[in-house]
Amino acid sequence: MDCIFCKIINKELNSEILYEDNKMIIIKDIYPKANIHYLAIPKKHISTHMDIDYNDQELMGYIHLVINKFTKEKGINSYKLVMNCGYEAGQRVFHIHFHILSGQKFGEV
Residues 46-85, one symbol each (x = binds ligand 5GP by CB under 6 A, - = not), give: --------------------------------------x-
- What distance in Å separates the CA atoms of residue 80 and residue 101, rounded to the nearest whole number? 5
Q: Give the dihedral sign, CA 87/30/4/6.
A: negative
4: contact with ligand 5GP by CB under 6 A: yes
How far, in Å, CA of 5 to CA of 41, rounded? Answer: 8
> Which entry of Zn ion, ligand 5GP, none binds 6, CB below 5 to 8 A by partner kind?
Zn ion
| Residue 5 contacts residue 97 (beta carbons within 8 Å) | yes
When the beta carbons of 54 and 109 are compared against ligand 5GP, the nearer one is 109
Instruction: Report residue 24: phi and psi, to 5°.
Output: -160, 165
Q: Which stretch binds ligand 5GP (CB under 6 A): 40-48, 50-58, 62-70, 86-94?
A: 86-94
List of residues contacting ligand 5GP (CB under 6 A): 4, 13, 15, 27-31, 39, 84, 90-93
